Amino acid sequence: MIIQVKEVAKQFGGLRAVNNVSFDVNSKEILGIIGPNGAGKTTLFNLISGSLPVTSGTVTFNGEDITSQKPFVICKKGIGRTYQVVKPFGGITVLENVMVGAFNKASSTKEAREYALEILKKVGLDKKKDQIGNSLTIADKKRLEVAKALATQPKLLLLDEVMAGLNPSEVKEMLPIIRGLRESGITIIIIEHIMEVIMSVCDRIVVIHHGEKIAEGTPKEIANNEEVIKAYFGEEVSHA
């Protein structure tokens, strides 16, 4: 396995946002994490990536305990991530945005530029490399967010709702990009509310509700899990 999350918890005052969540991810696997809004999914990503210190529990990556290490240290070790709210560096070009991530491993500007160009081709943004980051559409900003994370050369990539806000055709265009990342050897953990995406790309799914893991299994097993239907799908229906 590439990562092991064991009984991880996060306490904010009297609120336990993540409560003793455990799961493993194998190399080159795509693990989906789903749950209602406010379930603790992004907080869990923040704990894995070091953006927040854990209250208790451990995160082990490639056999090493990385619990609560600094984000830049964890990034250097090979964990990249995207953010739910995309925030490109607005005053510089798309290429320069990706070069910022490439400097995580690149030893020269030339090397960073060459690698950034490769990444832009992978996500379909190479023809927009000279545009300013803020000028992109939301769909292209999502691709740029993925490109920035990929440029750090991760072994494990955390994707936080990279398809939120996209129309069906844009979602369809993003799916082969995600599958291609796995084919290139990258392990993926993905948070997503679009169930078509989760069910079609994930090997396994973990369901979080009120900060706790309530289910884990294949897409088919999760789709037929009564507790998941009640906690997740039932709430979604009631909100409609």
196 to each of 43, 163, 172, how far by Cα in Å?
23, 11, 10
pLDDT digits (tens, 9 = 90+) for 197-218: 999 999 999 999 999 999 999 9
- Statement: residue 238 has pLDDT above 60: no
Task: Tell me the residue length of the chain.
Answer: 240
CB of 24 closer than 8 Å to CB of 3: yes
Total Cβ atoms within 10 A of residue 182: 16
Q: Kindly report the CATH class assigned to 1-78+156-165+187-240.
A: alpha beta
Name the pTM for this structure.
0.94
E-assigned strand segments in the chain: 3-12, 15-25, 30-34, 56-61, 64-65, 79-81, 156-160, 187-191, 204-209, 212-217
pLDDT digits (tens, 9 = 90+) for 100-154: 999 999 999 999 999 999 999 999 999 999 999 999 999 999 999 999 999 999 9
Residue 17 is given by DSSP the state: E
Give the pLDDT band of residue 229 (cuts 50, 70, 90). Answer: confident
Amino acid at 109: T
pLDDT digits (tens, 9 = 90+) for 17-62: 999 999 999 999 999 999 988 999 999 999 999 999 999 999 999 9
Sorted by where each begins, the domain ranges of the chain are 1-78+156-165+187-240
Give the pLDDT band of residue 239 (cuts 50, 70, 90). Answer: very low
